[in-house]
Amino acid sequence: MKPALTLAFASLSTLNAATITAIDYPETPRGEVVDDYFGTKVADPYRWLEDVDSARTRAWVEAQNALALPHLAALPERERLHARLQALWNYERYGLVEKVAGRYFYLRNDGLQNQPVLVVQDDAKAAARVLLDPNRLAADGTVALTQYAVSPDGRWLAYGTAAAGSDWNEFRVRSVADGKDQPEVLRRIKFSSIAWTRDGRGFFYSRYPEPPAGADAGTFDDLADQALYYHRVGTPQTADVRVYAVADEPKWGYLAQVTDDGRYLVISIWRGSADEYRIHVRDLGDPQRPALDGPVLRLVDTFESDYTLIGSVGSRLYFRSNAGAERGRILAADLDAPLPDRWREVVPQQADTLQHALFAGDGIVALYLRDATSRLVRYGLDGEPAGEIALPGLGSVPDLSFGGVQISGAPGDDELFYAFTSFNRPATNYRYDLGKRRGGVHQPLTLKFDPNDYVTEQVFYPSKDGTRIPMFISYRKGLKRDAATPALLYGYGGFNIALTPTFSVPNLVWMEQGGIYAQANLRGGGEYGRAWHEAGTKERKQNVFDDFIAAAEYLVREGWTAPEHLAISGRSNGGLLVGAVLNQRPELFAAALPAVGVMDMLRYHRFTIGWAWAGDYGTADTKEGFAYLSRYSPLHTVRTDVKYPAVLITTADHDDRVVPGHSYKYAATLQAAHQAYRARHCGAVGTDCDAGGPILIRIDVKAGHGAGKPIGKLIDEEADRLAFIRHYTTR
């Protein structure tokens, strides 16, 4: 194995086509593994890279970083871009305000803190005080606050932390009054909610069993047999009460909510990534003395539709649901007469897609998507329209992966808080008085740029089959549309997730430097309801790739850019998107940034939580699944007879969502293909010949899928990514 590169660094600031072809990739030995899928033999020569903790995989990671990091550091604009990212990221910003028992809780970052700090105001006029500073939990900032919930009486904070970007959480309980933790630590927690009982003495959460004897509790990933537990403050985890789990269903998971009056425990049961839930309800009886062992009513007992509790009035529970309405509606079920035909439609399906709803003040506030932009609409509890809350422009109320939809309120309280963002405006908190029907910015931001210097257009273009696809195009005001303009196209297209206008410091820096940023709303997402999502799943996944390719072709056709100036980017499922499209149309792009991607579609379901994605992907365990997955799987569709553009793959050694073996194997395969093409067309290493590439992989250490990554690490990574695409789209 070659631990170092042989790139000639005589002039590191003048990388060009000749030096690109001179890269000598680290040796990646090929194994002899061959799998048989229904009579088709499929080689998997880099299977050994799936063992991410082995000595030779660690040596391979070191060798790849020894190649990639100096190359990235040598890019002409890297240091300037790093400085600009750092400057623009350095502004005070806030998370969503949540009001509990008269106190106001929110996250705050003074600018370049690695992790945001949780603060509390004891009343509306009080100064904020620090309640929890995650930056004190690890010197390098790699321990993050993942979630929190305040007890109904405002006395206790239950909170989760994760180290090095892992999905594994530890829960603790802290006194809001003095900021001191109780002695207990709750472990073996992944994909859990926190739901306090009304008495404020304890909460429901979900956890997995202890690992078998001899297994490492930090890495054991047999994600089966999750159960719902109740923890009482001040007691050890061993004393927690196992509240609920369905027998003989080891892959089902449980999320708990307690109604605002404390009467009912509502259990949402999931079995994968699809928004399809069973709803089981337990009557807790007296909210001040909740009964944990009462009978359970199986209110919804099939996995067919999305049901999300938004509030309750007595025995009537209100749900946002797509049952019988692909774009969503609001339904009410009376637990005294819970038969399906007795459910009442409160707010019928609209032309727009219902994304979120909650009880606030004396009614309901609903968040809709109209062509991927947000609308806030009010209704009475009887479903009568009560007006719209005007938003500042073309943008969105953001939905954060771990923070949820950024809107908060409570029944009987006229204060509503929400965040609003767009491509040129960071998320800003607003306060709205539901009684007086007026509001405004609650926590203004001081920025080091003028948002009015940037413009966003929304366009619609036809995909390969004629489907009308929306896309946002953002750029600096005054930019002349020119085929020589560098452009960055971003997409996702999966898991019913809607891509809405969202602020990003790196994207702003890209636009500031004269680049175009485009974001396409592909099928597979949640922009237009269930049918739109399903059109990009399983055997229909090629629709997503066709939509993305058509977006690139639109940008070229309409004179926004040209293939030699166009870069593409995507993360996770979006990394899969970039890998698949890159393989299908390599000539259409100058550079590609697949991040933490799902690249081995034949084996993805065999690692950590991968099995849960079968609702979107299907699996190669069936003949039909193998047939369509093998046609687009990025790992299996790399070709040696084409010139690939410059590719920077990014992943992290502690990613336990999309394991890094996906990116490792894909990088090794692409590098081998690049070497083969170079040998065929350019001859010896060092020949002055443009063979495309380079193919680099940047592997972060002590990091995971992305959530909770320290600001310092983010800036370093984004400087590398921006410098890479700037260099390879402007040559």
How confident is the model over 292-302, as pLDDT tens digits?
999 999 999 99
Tokens of 541: 């996944």
Paired residues of 331 in beta bridges: 319, 345
Determine phi and psi for 619, rounding to 5 degrees.
-140, 165
Residue of 572, 605, 636, 654 with catalytic role: 572
CA distances for 74 relative to 592, 667, 685, 704, angstroms = 19, 21, 20, 26
Q: What is the rounded average pLDDT of the residues 552-581? A: 98
Q: What is the DSSP string of 565-587?
A: GEEEEEETHHHHHHHHHHHH-GG
Tokens of 698: 């940047």
CA distances for 502 relative to 380, 399, 618, angstroms = 30, 10, 30
Task: Check whether 467 has a pLDDT greater than 90.
Answer: yes
Strand order in the sheet with 353-360: 353-360, 363-370, 373-380, 385-389
Task: Check whether 485 has a pLDDT greater than 60.
Answer: yes
| CATH number for the domain formed by residue range(s) 17-87+449-729 | 3.40.50.1820
* Beta strand ranges found along 208-285 (DSSP E): 227-232, 241-244, 253-258, 264-270, 278-283
- Residue whose entry in the numeric block shows the structure tokens 């939509």: 547
Number of H helices and E strands in the chain, helices first, is 11, 41
One-letter amino acid of 725 = I
* Beta strand ranges found along 411-490 (DSSP E): 413-422, 425-433, 438-443, 454-462, 468-476, 487-490
pLDDT tens across 663-716, in order? 999 999 999 999 999 988 886 555 567 889 999 999 998 776 767 788 999 999
Separation CA 678–CA 685 (nearest Å): 8
pLDDT confidence tier of residue 341, bands split at 50, 70 and 90: confident
Q: What is the rounded average pLDDT of the residues 99-114? A: 97
Separation CA 166–CA 189 (nearest Å): 11
572: annotated active-site residue: yes
Q: Given CATH 2.130.10.120, say whether it is the number of domain 93-258.
A: yes
- Confidence at residue 4, expressed as pLDDT on a 0 to 100 scale: 28
- Confidence at residue 684, expressed as pLDDT on a 0 to 100 scale: 56
Task: Tell me if domain 17-87+449-729 and domain 93-258 are identical in fold.
Answer: no
Cα dihedral 132→135→139→143 (10° resolution): 80
pLDDT tens across 212-230, in order? 876 665 454 668 999 999 9
pLDDT tens across 416-428, in order? 999 999 999 999 9
- Confidence at residue 526, expressed as pLDDT on a 0 to 100 scale: 96
Residue pair 116/708 in contact (Cβ under 8 Å)? The answer is: no
Task: Check whether 13 has a pLDDT greater than 80.
Answer: no
Separation CA 398–CA 420 (nearest Å): 7
Q: What percent of the chain has pLDDT over 90?
A: 87
Residue of 71, 674, 705, 727 with catalytic role: 705
- Confidence at residue 689, expressed as pLDDT on a 0 to 100 scale: 78
Q: What is the rounded average pLDDT of the residues 366-372? A: 98
- Confidence at residue 399, expressed as pLDDT on a 0 to 100 scale: 87
What's the mean per-residue pLDDT of the chain? 93
| Planar angle of CA 586, 587, 589, nearest 5 degrees | 75
705: annotated active-site residue: yes
**Higher confidence at residue 550 or residue 23?**
550
pLDDT tens across 55-80, in order? 999 999 999 999 999 999 999 999 99
| Count of Cβ atoms closer than 10 Å to residue 272 Cβ | 17
Task: Check whether 11 has a pLDDT greater than 50.
Answer: no
* Beta strand ranges found along 284-323 (DSSP E): 296-300, 307-313, 316-321
Q: What is the DSSP letter of 396?
A: B
Paired residues of 96 in beta bridges: none
Q: What is the rounded average pLDDT of the residues 26-53? A: 97
Residue-range domain boundaries for the chain: 17-87+449-729, 93-258, 361-447
Q: What is the rounded average pLDDT of the residues 234-262? A: 97
518: enclosing H helix or E strand: strand 516-520
pLDDT tens across 628-671, in order? 999 999 999 999 999 999 999 999 988 888 999 999 999 999 99
Q: What percent of the chain has pLDDT over 70?
A: 94
pLDDT tens across 165-214, in order? 889 999 999 999 999 999 999 999 999 999 999 999 999 999 999 988 76
Question: Cα 705 from chain centroid?
Answer: 9
Separation CA 434–CA 457 (nearest Å): 32
